[in-house]
Every structure is written in C-alpha cells, then in structure tokens.
Amino acid sequence: MLKGVHQKLEPQQSPAFFVRGASPFSRMMLYSALSIVMMAADARWNYLSTVRQAFIGALHPLEMLANAPSNWVRDTKKYFTAHNQLVQENYLLKQQAFEHQVMLQRLSTIQAENIHLRSLLNGNLPIQPKAILGEISHTGRDPFSNVVVVNRGSSHGIKPGQAVVDSKGVIGQVTRVFPYSSEVTLVIDKQLSIPIQIERNQLRAIAFGEGNNTLDIPYLPANVDIRVGDKLVTSGIDGIYPAGLAVATVTKIQQNPESPFAKIISTPVAEVTNHLQLLLLELPEVKESEIKPHEPEAKETAAKAVEKAPAKQKDKKTHASR
Amino acid sequence: MRPVSRWIIYLTLVVALLCHLFPWGGRGIILRPVFMFVVLLYWLLRSPHLCNIGTAWFAGLLVDLATGSLLGQHALSFTLAAFVGVSYQRRLVLFNAWHLMGYVFLIFLLERVLLLLLKLFAGNENPGWHFFLPILTGILLWQSMIFVFGTITRPKSR
C-alpha cells in the first residue's frame, strides 16, 4: 500500500526538477507573514500560552523518552557509588545536622520572642511560606536564556510567580507553568527584578538582572554606603520573596564622575549549576491580580522605592507590616 | 541519488526534535547543533518536492515550542534561510563536496544571524560569539547526514 502512495506522490523519478508547486518566493512570503503574526500574538497579547501549555503537556511522553538515557546513567552511577564515599558523606551530614539542630534550638526561642514582641507592638506576624521540593530537569533548551526547567508543574499546584530558592539563596521566580514541569527564570535575567536589602546597614533597593551572571542595582547615589563584599538579602516588601533570603554579594562598584549614580554589580549566591534540588515557595495569600511577574512597571516602582530610601527609617515599619 | 520516502523524512525530523528535547546540561550546551535545521536543510536540498519552506516553518514552530522561546522566532529564521537554500537548489548538481559544504555553511550562518536579530529585537541580551558555535557542529552533523543518507551533488563516477 505504501508503495502506491509513493508513486502517486512522485510522478517523476528525477529529483524534483520540474515538480516545484508554488514559487519559493510566494511560499516564503506566506510563512514569514504567518510567523510574524505569531510572534506579535505571543509577545504582545500572550494569546498563545494555552497552545504552548497544551503542546508541552502532549510532549511529555516524548520528553520522558529523551530523558530516559541520562536518567539511566544517573541511576547506575548512584548504584555503583563507593562504600567509603557514602560513609564519609553520612558522617558529614550527621555533623551538619547536629550543628543545624543547635542553631534551630536558638531559632525557636528567638522566633517565639519575636512573635511576642511583635504582638506587643501590634505588628503583623511574619509570613511562614510553605514550600514544595522540586528537581531541576534541565537548564533550558536555549543555552542563551536564563531559565531552568523544574519537574513540578500545575498538577503539583505550582503557580506562576512563585519564588524559588536553593540551600544557598534565591534562584528566581516561576514564570511559566506546564502540566508536569515549570519554567524558572533566574534572578540574573533581564526581565526579572528583586527587592533587596543590604544586610550590613538595612538599605533597601531593587536589583535588576543583567544577564552574564550579574545583578545591577541602579538609581543609587554615587556616595551610597555599599562596599564590595556586602551581602544582599531579600527585603520581603514585595510579598513574593520572604524577607532575609540571600540573593547576591556585591563584587564591583564603579563610580563614574559624569553620572550621579553608582554602578553596582553583584553576583548571585545560588548555585544553579551545582545542585539539582530546589524549593518552590508557595505564594502568600494575596489577590491573584496583584502578582504579575513580568511587569514593566517594576522599574517605576524601583525608582520610587529609591526616592523613598532616605526616609527609610520612618516608613520602614509600614512597609514591613504590609 | 535515490528518491526517498516521505516517512523517512518525517522520522528523521522527529528524531531531530527528540535531540532538542534531550536534557542538555553543562558547558557543552553551547556546542549543540541546531539538529532540526541541519536535518531539514538536507531534505530540503535533496527533495524539495517533499520537504519545502512549509515544512521548515512547521519544524521551526516545533523548535520554538520545545525551547520555550518566543513563538515564531525559529519559524521565521528557518523559513527565510530555507528560502535562500531552496532558491539555488537546482544548481547544486554542479557543485562538488567542498562547494556544497561552503554553501551549507553560509545558510547555517544566515539562520544564526536571522535568529540573533530576532532575539535582539525581542529584547534578549547579546549572547556573544558563542551563539555562532553551533554552525561548526552543524557542519559535522551535515557531513554525517551525507554519510548516512547519501550525497546531494553529482556522483563521482560521471
């Protein structure tokens, strides 16, 4: 039967010298126009996100097939791990767990004290976010985008906008959710900004991703009190990232005499390339409409936040209680 | 050059899509060839009555969906590069292997340049010269395609 189909499709045995159909130019124009329309529909109006989700969902079996060889290699490697390596690791982990337990004992008393003090001051209680453990399935198919794909999706209750952290610090934010996986944009991406605080002096600012594994803190005056090596932690005023998570360390400060602002470069602390496990923090109870990860208004709010920065001691409380 | 079955073409394209879906990691990812385009260009130059600009567009769309980039980005760059590729397709019979390789190199380069322009217009950051490394690995893949499926140019004996 197949043979009959071929004969119908290939009238000549010669390689298509005469069978050409519509001219390549007209085809090119048609398909280019189609792709330009699609790009506009995708970028401007986000019409195609449901199409994408359905496709990724349908592609899941194929993805599993593609993942199978590397999973297999990983599992066999795990099986043949040497005995003494495991013993050593076990010893180290026990030591770590002991240290952490001692620290946790202090933490619980301090937390109780903090809650008590806050209730004395009539302040709001801090939010305790729940978290879902996920694993990085691959670091994005496009090597030039700052994205990792995690093996938890909408079927596990993941929502776009969730903050993602690892044991060292903040990794980024969930930007797209598919049925069995979700896409996490790293903090270094150009489209992402994160409200931060300098650990040393509690100065609040907003850090913007720059690509090339760096973050930039714009709109800070040239004489700002920031030094190389300062740790940046989340300030928690956005309601997405809980306060106090490590984000980055300042690596370079450039003062340009022509500009009133300092150029402050920092590198993120999270080790996306080294670990597989990460935590997806649940969003706090806020109205859905208030959370939009890719908002161009972020820059405006950043500018405003910096304007307010000198008066930070006064309005700090109001921000924290929001 | 024997005529090929339509199903062989679709099968190889699906395998190319699988290669895109493979969980690539580490440093080697910048060397990864654009599997889909290499396979597509081979069939495009060999039998354009079965695999033409429409196929290129659809394959580009699949790559867009698989990589999660802006929908239509790869589709447009594949379409335009395939158009240039197919316009000179009838002259390829006169080429020898080296000419063909140069020709394919230029089309790969065109695909990369178009994609880079589209990415920059869409607001991505400049990826640097690493962006063009897949051309070299693409040429290697191209040669292995020729090795497996046969050459496109005139046979040596004549």
Domain edges within chain B? 38-149
Q: At A260, which CATH number?
A: 2.40.10.340
Token pair recorded at residue A54: 């359905």
Pair (A143, A225) in one structural domain: yes
In a domain, A116, yes or no: no
- Residue A18 has a pLDDT of 54
Q: How far apart are CA B11 and CA B18, in angstroms?
A: 11
Q: How many CA atoms lie within 13 A of B98 on its CB side?
A: 0
A53 or A172, higher pLDDT = A172
- Residue A309 has a pLDDT of 42
Q: What is the DSSP secondary-structure string of A201-215?
A: T--EEEEEEEETTEE
Q: Are strands A214-217 and A204-211 parallel, antiparallel or unpaired?
A: antiparallel
- Confidence band for A9, pLDDT divided at 50, 70 and 90: low
Chain pair A-B, CB pairs under 8 angstroms? 146
**Candidate from A28, A70, A190 with C-beta closest to B23:** A70
Pair (A147, A245) in one structural domain: yes
Are B68 and A20 within 8 A, CB to CB?
Answer: no
In a domain, A123, yes or no: no
Are A139 and B29 within 8 A, CB to CB?
Answer: yes
**Tokens 């790969």 belong to which residue?**
B108
Q: Are strands A262-268 and A277-281 parallel, antiparallel or unpaired?
A: unpaired
The minimum CA-CA distance between B76 and chain A, rounded to whole Å, is 6
pLDDT by residue (tens digit) across A212-232? 788 888 888 888 888 898 899
In a domain, A11, yes or no: no
Are A140 and B17 within 8 A, CB to CB?
Answer: no
Are B3 and A10 within 8 A, CB to CB?
Answer: yes
- Contact partners, residue A173, CB within 8 Å, separation at least 6: A161, A162, A163, A164, A184, A185, A187, A192, A240, A293
Pair (A63, A188) in one structural domain: no
The minimum CA-CA distance between A99 and chain B, rounded to whole Å, is 33
Q: Are strands A170-177 and A163-165 parallel, antiparallel or unpaired?
A: antiparallel
- Residue A109 has a pLDDT of 87
- Residue A103 has a pLDDT of 86
pLDDT by residue (tens digit) across A27-73? 889 999 999 998 888 887 777 777 888 888 888 888 888 878 877 88
Q: How far apart are CA B141 and CA B12, in angstroms?
A: 13
Pair (A75, A136) in one structural domain: no
Q: How far apart are CA A265 and CA A256, in angstroms?
A: 14
B60 touches chain A (CB under 8 A): yes
pLDDT by residue (tens digit) across A175-188? 888 888 888 988 88
Domain finish residue from A13, A47, A79: A79
Number of domains in chain A: 2
Pair (A265, A167) in one structural domain: yes
Most confident of A78-92, A243-257, B31-45: B31-45
- Residue A321 has a pLDDT of 38
Pair (A169, A317) in one structural domain: yes
What mean pLDDT value characterizes chain A?
Answer: 77
Pair (A149, A37) in one structural domain: no
pLDDT by residue (tens digit) across B67-125? 878 888 999 999 999 999 988 888 887 888 888 899 999 999 999 999 999 988 887 77
Are A24 and B49 within 8 A, CB to CB?
Answer: no
Are A32 and B79 within 8 A, CB to CB?
Answer: yes
